[in-house]
Structures are given as structure tokens and as C-alpha cells.
Amino acid sequence: MTAPLLTSLAAPDGDRPDALSVGGRALSREELLGAAGAVAARIAGAPVVAVRATPTPETVVAVVGGLLAGVPVVPVPPDSGPAERDHILRDSGATLLLTGEDVQAPIETVPVDPADRAAWTKPEPDPESTAFILYTSGTTGAPKGALISRRAVAADLDGLAAAWAWTAEDTLVHGLPLFHVHGLVLGVLGPLRVGSRLVHTGKPTPAAYAAAGGSLYFGVPTVWNRIARDPDSARALASARLLVSGSAPLPAPVFRDLERLTGQRPIERYGMTETLITISTRADGERRPGYVGTPLSGISTRIATEEGAEIGELQLTGPTLFDGYLNRPEATAGSYTEDGWFRTGDIAAIDPDGFHRIVGRASTDMIKSGGYRIGAGEVENALLDHPAVREAAVVGAPHEDLGQEIVAYVVADGIGEQELIDFVASQLSVHKRPRKVRFLEALPRNAMGKPQKKLLPPA
């Protein structure tokens, strides 16, 4: 039986003044709950509230205040343009925008001050009620609001705590955005639920991570790549207990560099906005480069493959799944199979021992060339194994004979197209080699560091 979401938020014995440090500003748990209680008192009864999710204590206070009051919280990226922001506010039905800054918005703004205090004694809201409306972009159309219940959040955090042996003795360090599952749900509510200390570095720089002295670190591949390229900062993480990577596949060369510099192999995990985190490597288990581990407690997975294929769409069920897309019943129905499994849209493989490997998105990373089904991620990792290559993205481009041809976009120094093609052919099956290589100054990426293949120039 999963405990109510906020049960563990009360200050434990020995509450410390820096239980939560965000961008160098600290709060004790008692101070956080007092400030969040003041927010809850101001917003109680609102249908939905939005939070301008800057990496600040104000954001943490606002989110916890919304959870105390039982009002669904909509995190809004602080760098979103007016069109994106207004769509999120309008579509979600938010009537208030909680913010620590003076901003102009089409709805009423509520200032958040971590120094405010008010007691909040009302009971825990219904576990089935909505905790968050998290907006996620698909391949077409405006972002959709995923309804995430309090029960799902609690189940996910408990599953991760068990998988990672995450306890109140840990200090979690990260500098991730507070408007995604990774940075907000895992990175803020996680330490509040298990009782561990949180150090949010503001920005996820190698120097900031090195100086934080944590036992548990969260990062996306871009962050870990930068740390691996800063050996002194990487070595400073050698005393940490776990290095966790997510939100995109961790390139195998970065995995190996972190192991060499820190003395430990990083952990990878897999999830989506709609499912939260569902698969992870265990703290006490094997850690394989390119693999995201096994399902968390209560999660079941399967691969929908075409006959004779080893890879296919990952589908899953379990207690962490969302309650549907807000006001989009057709989109919700379309995300499930006829027998009730959630369709992730990700291409994966499951080894005989249950370890999962994510190949990529079905829409962009499954390439059908000359009768072969090829995962873009495998080719990208082969390219990244070449010492001259810093970044790589692989797509399938239309081809009149092959159906699709493999095209690689790379950021590299001192190497030519044919040399890279030959290198991949020497590492993988010959049919998996790129037919074309395009050189770029940098790959287009989103706020979480994921390459945005839709923004690549034409092949």
C-alpha cells in the first residue's frame, strides 16, 4: 500500500537549516512547510494553478503549496515564449500564476515569498486526485497536458527509492529544470518524500556538481558529457554513491569515461511524462552501458514486434501511469492498445535476463533500410566511439531504392565523411553504416539536452 504523497514531507528529527538548497539559498523543512502553508491558504479552492518554474526556492514553495491545498499544479517553463505560455495557461484552465518575480501574464499572478509562514492543517487530499498537469510535446500539434495523480507520483518515488537504496542519509545533487519529471518530481519531491537533503545547483555545471559533496547525483547526458570532459570535476564525484543519468540515452563513451574518472559505473533509467519512471538499473545490480535496467515494482513491460524482428515498440502497464491527456479523449484512447497497455512510442529490446535497451523513438529512430530494421541509437553510439566525434544524431531519409537511407549528423574535428562511414561499418553490420554524413557546429537540443531531430537541416 503506497503511503499518501505528503506524509513524508514533515520535518524529520534533526531538521537542518539547509535541508533544501536551491541556487545557493537554503530552507529547512519546517521553513518550507510554513511558506508552502501560506501559499496553500491563498490558493485553496482554485481549480488549477500554474507555477513559473524557475530554479529557485520560490518554485519549490509554490509546488508544495499547491500539493498541500490539493490544487493541480502546472509547471510553466520560465523561458517559454508568449504563445507557448499562453497555450499552457489557457488549455490547463489555470486561474492563478504563482511566481517569485514580477511578470506580466494573462491571468492573475500570486507572489511567492519563502519568508511567509502559515500553518496548514487540512487533511491529505484524495490519492486519486491530480497532482500535476505536465505539458508534453508530440510530433504534431500543440503540447498536451498529461494528468498525473498523487498516487502515481508516490508509487514512482517509492519504487525508485527501493531501486536506488535512496534514504534520508543521502544528499541529492542536481541542476535540472524544475518543469519536467526529472528535475521536479524526482529531483524535488523525491528528497522531500524520502527525507534526504537536496542541493540544487542552479545550473548543472561541472564545477557546481564537484563542489556540492553529494552522495546521489542526477544528470542528463549533456551534463554528464561536460563533466567527463572536466576530469578534475569528475574525480570529485568519486565519493558519491550513485550517478544517475536519464531523459535521453547516455552515450557509451561517456559511460566509460565516467567509470574511468569516478571509479563507478553510472545508472540509467527510463521514463516518460505520461508514465513517470518505469525502468531502472538497481543500485545493487549490474550496470551495462546502453541499458536502462529492469521494471520498477508493479510495472510490467512487453515489446510489440513484427515477425522475425528483435526490436519493437515498448508497451507497459503499472501504477505510475497518467490519467490521460486533459480534454483530449481521442489522444488518450490512441495512446493505449486494445488490451489496455500504454504505447510508449519508443523502440526497445529486452534481453533474456530482463534488461531493457531503448533504441529510440518509433517516429524518428526506427529506420527501415533495404529490408532491415535499424535503431538509430546503435549507429549513434558507434559514431560516438570514434575519438574525433563529439555529438551524433542519426535519421532515416527517403531513398528510392532502399526505402530509407541512414544519414548521420555529427559534430567532429579533423575527420572526413568516408572515414566515418568506414568506421561504423567496421563496428556494426555493414548495412547499418551511414550512407551520408553531414557535419554541424552543434546539434539542436531542448532544455533537457535531448537532440531535436526535427530541427536538423535536410539530408
Say if residues 145 and 325 touch (Cβ distance below 8 Å).
yes
Q: How high is the pLDDT of residue 36? A: 96
Please name the amino acid found at residue 263. G
**Chain position carrying cell 537541416:** 457
Residue 89: its H or E element:
helix 82-92
**Smallest Cα–Cα separation from 409: which of 444, 369, 361?**
444
**Bridge partners, 280 (sequence order):** 269, 294
Distance CA 4, CA 265 (A): 34
Distance CA 80, CA 88 (A): 10
Distance CA 269, CA 219 (A): 11
> Which residues neighbour 385 within 8 Å (Cβ) at sequence distance 6 or greater?
252, 253, 427
CA atoms within 13 A on the CB side of 457: 9
Residue 279: its H or E element:
strand 276-280
Q: How high is the pLDDT of residue 221? A: 86
Distance CA 171, CA 153 (A): 20
CA 240 to chain centre: 21
Q: How high is the pLDDT of residue 448? A: 67
Please name the amino acid found at residue 45. G
> Which residues neighbour 303 within 8 Å (Cβ) at sequence distance 6 or greater?
311, 312, 313, 314, 315, 348, 349, 350
**Smallest Cα–Cα separation from 251: which of 377, 350, 361?**
377
Q: Domain ranges in the chain? A: 366-455
CA 222 to chain centre: 12
In a 3-state reduction of DSSP, which class is residue 156? helix
Per-residue HEC secondary structure of 315-369 comes to EEECCCCCCCECCCHHHHHHCECCCCCEEEEEEEEECCCCCEEEEEECCCCEEEE
Distance CA 152, CA 144 (A): 18
Q: How high is the pLDDT of residue 137? A: 66
Tell me the pTM: 0.84
Q: How high is the pLDDT of residue 114? A: 97
Q: How high is the pLDDT of residue 110? A: 96
Query: Which strands, in side-by-side order, build the sheet including 300-304?
Result: 300-304, 312-317, 342-350, 356-361
Q: How high is the pLDDT of residue 270? A: 95
Classify strands 49-52 and 96-99 as parallel, antiparallel or unpaired.
parallel
Query: Assign residue 14 a region: left if phi > 0, alpha if psi is -120 to 50, beta otherwise?
Result: left
> Which residues neighbour 440 within 8 Å (Cβ) at sequence distance 6 or greater?
391, 409, 410, 411, 456, 457
- CATH classification (class only), 366-455: alpha beta
The b/e string for 425-448 (b: 16+ C-beta within 10 A; e otherwise) is: eebeeeebbbeebbeeeebebebb
CA atoms within 13 A on the CB side of 427: 17
Please name the amino acid found at residue 170. D
Query: Assign residue 298 a region: left if phi > 0, alpha if psi is -120 to 50, beta otherwise?
Result: left
Local confidence pLDDT in tens for the 459 residues of the chain: 677 888 666 555 568 899 999 999 999 999 999 999 999 999 999 999 999 999 999 999 999 999 999 999 999 988 887 888 898 999 999 999 999 998 889 999 999 999 999 999 999 999 999 999 999 865 456 789 999 999 999 999 999 999 999 999 999 999 999 998 999 999 999 999 999 999 999 999 999 999 999 999 999 888 998 999 999 999 999 999 999 999 878 888 899 999 999 999 999 999 999 999 999 999 999 999 989 999 999 999 999 987 667 789 999 999 999 999 999 999 999 999 999 999 999 989 999 999 999 987 776 777 878 767 787 887 888 899 899 999 999 998 888 778 789 999 999 999 999 999 999 988 887 888 999 999 999 999 877 677 888 899 987
Q: How high is the pLDDT of residue 164? A: 98
Say if residues 64 and 191 touch (Cβ distance below 8 Å).
no
Q: How high is the pLDDT of residue 252? A: 86
Say if residues 395 and 407 touch (Cβ distance below 8 Å).
yes
Q: How high is the pLDDT of residue 75? A: 97
Q: Which three cell numbers stand for residue 142?
A: 500543440
Distance CA 392, CA 381 (A): 8
**Percent helix / strand / coil, the chain, rounded to 5:** 30, 30, 45
CA 64 to chain centre: 20
In a 3-state reduction of DSSP, which class is residue 459? coil
Q: How high is the pLDDT of residue 14? A: 65
